[in-house]
């Protein structure tokens, strides 16, 4: 097995690392406090090609592999998970879904501007009564012949107000259950489409999270993705790739907290020596480093499998499950190592701890990931 990155992958990782340090880190605490979307930074991410990393060049994408995507997500998430989640959603949910399953007309109209960051995308599956249970869609799309009439509410939508293009799952044939669900491309500005207030969240506070409301929104027939009834399968297939991005985000949050804790432990002195020389702190750092490396390998394996065209659902869920738990454990320990300073915003680790929690919740909770993993292992 080869564990060496290519020269191109290392270069992309270094570009992302420099961007995170020079563009994301300044002002990250203020953006968190003010719940301010990193609009300027996201625009620059688009200019770098990071919002359409894995999209083919013919659709304005960078044509990069999933391994490079993991590397970029880790570096950005070390500093600002509110910015990295925009990269994650735009790449592995919206762009991926359109490129894999959209028509050529849909790709020309919607994918191309998304891939370069001219537009931002949102993936709309969760509802007040249908979070983890994606089969119970209450949002309805009535087939009216030339168009669908969309009614309902979506919750917890990342990029809720900043997006221009929304991929919306809705039920068209209730009698068919999950086989009656469709996926639609909805544009901001369509009559009857409104965005609710921004959610006041524990973490990733710069991320633009809103509820969306649809009241007799006319969606053209050509905006349906795939055949009639394809929506549930579309959502599940797209979320598989999304889990790699969230796993990499969790990895980055953990890695960022570990680096801060390691540097602090080398500088902070007690009883006449750096606390890094105390065995209790050394054991914490050893566990953190080991768990982060294990999470990194799981993320890279899932990405590699995807790049090879091999099944990766189990690997993605394992990576998401483990990396999110490592993120939570590592950030808590980073705060502990910092002591009282860890509770102060200027040291960054308290924010990373708050950001870590969401990685255990979105793209399917830890319990959902265990169900996916169990389903895969029981196939044998």
| Burial class for 349, CB neighbours closer than 10 Å (0-12, 13-18, 19+) | buried
Task: Tell me if residue 127 falls in helix, strand or coil.
Answer: strand
As a whole number of angstroms, the distance between CA 198 and CA 39 comes to 15
* Under 8 Å between Cβ of 146 and 221: yes
Active-site choice (23, 227, 363, 376): 363
In angstroms, what CA-CA distances link 244 with 20, 229, 250, 361, 364? 20, 26, 10, 14, 12
Maximum Cα–Cα distance for the chain, whole Å?
79
Per-position DSSP letters for 33-74, written without gaps between them? HHT---HHHHHHHHHHTTTSTTS-GGGT-----HHHHHHHHH
Question: Nearest-5° angle of CA 33, CA 35, CA 41?
Answer: 105
User: Considering only CA atoms, which of 143, 195, 217, 203 is closest in space to residue 328?
Assistant: 203
Active-site annotation holds for 363: yes
In the beta sheet, which residues pair with residue 152?
Answer: 214
DSSP 289-337: HHHHHHHHHHHHHHHHHHHTT---HHHHHHHHHHHHHHHHHHHHHHHHH
Place of tokens 């599956």: 125
Active site residues: 363
């Amino acid at each position: 097995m080869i564990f060496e990155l290519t020269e191109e992958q290392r270069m992309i990782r270094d570009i992302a690392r420099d961007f995170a340090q020079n563009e994301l880190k300044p002002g990250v605490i203020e953006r968190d406090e003010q719940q301010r979307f990193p609009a300027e930074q996201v625009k620059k991410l688009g200019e770098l090609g990071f919002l359409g990393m894995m999209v083919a060049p013919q659709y304005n994408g960078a044509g990069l592999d999933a391994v490079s995507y993991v590397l970029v997500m880790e570096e950005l998430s070390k500093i600002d998970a509110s910015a990295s989640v925009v990269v994650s959603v735009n790449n592995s949910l919206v762009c991926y879904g359109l490129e894999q399953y959209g028509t050529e007309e849909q790709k020309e109209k919607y994918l191309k501007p998304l891939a370069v960051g001219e537009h931002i995308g949102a993936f709309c599956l969760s509802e007040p009564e249908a979070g983890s249970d994606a089969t119970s869609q209450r949002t309805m799309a009535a087939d009216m012949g030339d168009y669908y009439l969309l009614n309902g509410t979506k919750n917890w939508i990342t990029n809720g107000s900043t997006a221009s293009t929304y991929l919306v799952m809705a039920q068209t044939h209730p009698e068919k259950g999950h086989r009656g669900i469709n996926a639609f491309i909805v544009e901001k500005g369509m009559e009857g489409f409104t965005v609710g207030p921004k959610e006041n969240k524990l973490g990733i506070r710069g991320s633009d999270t809103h509820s969306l409301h649809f009241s007799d929104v006319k969606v053209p027939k050509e905006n349906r993705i795939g055949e009639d009834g394809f929506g549930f399968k579309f959502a599940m297939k797209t979320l598989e790739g999304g889990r790699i991005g969230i796993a990499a985000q969790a990895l980055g949050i953990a890695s960022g907290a570990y680096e801060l804790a390691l540097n602090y432990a080398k500088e902070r002195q007690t009883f006449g020596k750096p606390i890094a020389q105390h065995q209790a702190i050394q054991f914490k750092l050893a566990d953190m480093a080991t768990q982060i490396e294990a999470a990194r390998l799981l993320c890279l394996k899932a990405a590699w499998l995807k790049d090879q065209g091999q099944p990766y659902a189990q690997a993605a869920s394992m990576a998401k499950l483990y990396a999110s738990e490592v993120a939570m454990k590592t950030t808590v320990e980073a705060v502990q190592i910092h002591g009282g300073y860890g509770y102060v915003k200027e040291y960054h680790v308290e924010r990373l701890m708050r950001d870590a929690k969401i990685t255990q919740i979105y793209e399917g909770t830890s319990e959902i990931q265990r169900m996916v993993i169990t389903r895969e292992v029981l196939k044998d």
